[in-house]
Amino acid sequence: MKPFSGPEHHGGGRRQRFFGHGELRLVILNILKDNTSHGYELIKAIEALTQGHYSPSPGVIYPTLDLLQDQGLITVQEEDGGRKKIAITADGSQVLEENLASVEQIQARLKARMVGHELRKNPQMKRALDNFKAVLDLRVNQGDISDAQLKQIIGIIDRAALDIIQLD
């Protein structure tokens, strides 16, 4: 089976998507590898993965589940009360295994995004980061910055990173 493709990147200031084309399917399969689930539980598991920053709507999750079922990657069984129990199939496990590197990249990307979020929870850190970005943007985007000045700025950033790493 063909591997799922990676994230889509949009320009023009659009907000970056949490998952690129095919990635939500891999995330769902990865969640299902450990336990059967229900649609609502999958939504909540994905919300937990993104620390509440993304919660797929039923209009996203259920068509994705239908597609996975059509591809034979999951089974959906009706339970008493109308709930549907969702489980990964052997083919789904194989696709997940074939795309393990992609799953790891998705997890690393989510973790990296959450680190930035955690930093911005502290008001002083948010202010300092916003100030740094504003000054850097203003200085670098003036258009008349020399190669020597750019090299100095890069050196300052590298030294600051080293100072932070060396904190006790």
> Is residue 114 domain-shared with residue 130, that is, in the same domain?
no
The 10 Å Cβ neighbour count of residue 65 is 20
Cβ atoms of 117 and 51 within 8 Å: the answer is yes
> Is residue 103 domain-shared with residue 126, that is, in the same domain?
no
> Is residue 96 domain-shared with residue 136, that is, in the same domain?
no
**Tell me, what CATH number does 113's domain have?**
1.10.10.10
Residue 124 and residue 11: Cα distance in Å, rounded?
29
Residue 61 and residue 20: Cα distance in Å, rounded?
14
> Is residue 115 domain-shared with residue 132, that is, in the same domain?
no
> Is residue 127 domain-shared with residue 109, that is, in the same domain?
no
Whether this model's pTM surpasses 0.85: no
The pLDDT, as a whole number, for residue 8 is 41
> Is residue 105 domain-shared with residue 137, that is, in the same domain?
no
> Is residue 27 domain-shared with residue 103, that is, in the same domain?
yes
> Is residue 43 domain-shared with residue 90, that is, in the same domain?
yes
Task: Report CA dihedral (57, 53, 133, 128) to the nearest 10 degrees.
Answer: 150
The parent domain of residue 62 ranges over: 23-119
The pLDDT, as a whole number, for residue 4 is 53
Ranges of residues in the chain with a pLDDT under 50 are 1-2, 5-15
> Is residue 137 domain-shared with residue 95, that is, in the same domain?
no
Number of domains in the chain: 2
* DSSP labels, 12-48: TTPPPPSS-TTHHHHHHHHHHTT--B-HHHHHHHHHH
